[in-house]
Amino acid sequence: MIGNFSKLQAIMNKLIEEGNFVASVVASEDGLVVASAVKENVNQDIAAALTSLVQQTVDRVKKELEIGDIRYVIIDGKKGKVIFKSIDGKSESLILAVIVPPGVKTFKRLISKAAREICDIFSL
């Protein structure tokens, strides 16, 4: 398990470094932080709670509107973006949240790659 945590932490660190992102958080659907990496002063507990809230909203939208799996939820603000990516497994799901500073345009490829690597670690 410790080996998996170090691999996960390495993925999180690499993600914010390569993407020049502010922070990345992997949380359970309940909002519990599994791992995080931050460049700036970001409260990871608040980010994890928001991932849980977004996940609940996404689940409701999928069910009510019958639009299938949602790949990303993007909140685009004047001072940056918050990207949420669901990492769905057979028995459990995780949520990857990434804070992207203004001016960064490319992020989906890096986030998708990190999500696949996280899924592999946990064999989801």
30-45, pLDDT tens digit by residue?
A: 778 888 898 877 776 7
73, β-bridge pairs: 84
Q: What is the pLDDT of residue 67?
A: 83
Which CATH architecture group holds 2-122?
A: 2-Layer Sandwich (3.30)
Tokens of 9: 């932490």
Q: Where are the domains of the chain?
A: 2-122
* Gyration radius from the chain CA atoms: 14
Q: Tell me: the pLDDT tens digits for 50-88?
A: 777 787 787 788 788 888 877 888 999 999 999 999 888
Q: What local confidence, expressed as pLDDT, does residue 124 receive?
A: 54
Beta bridge partners of 27: 33, 95
pLDDT score at 42: 76
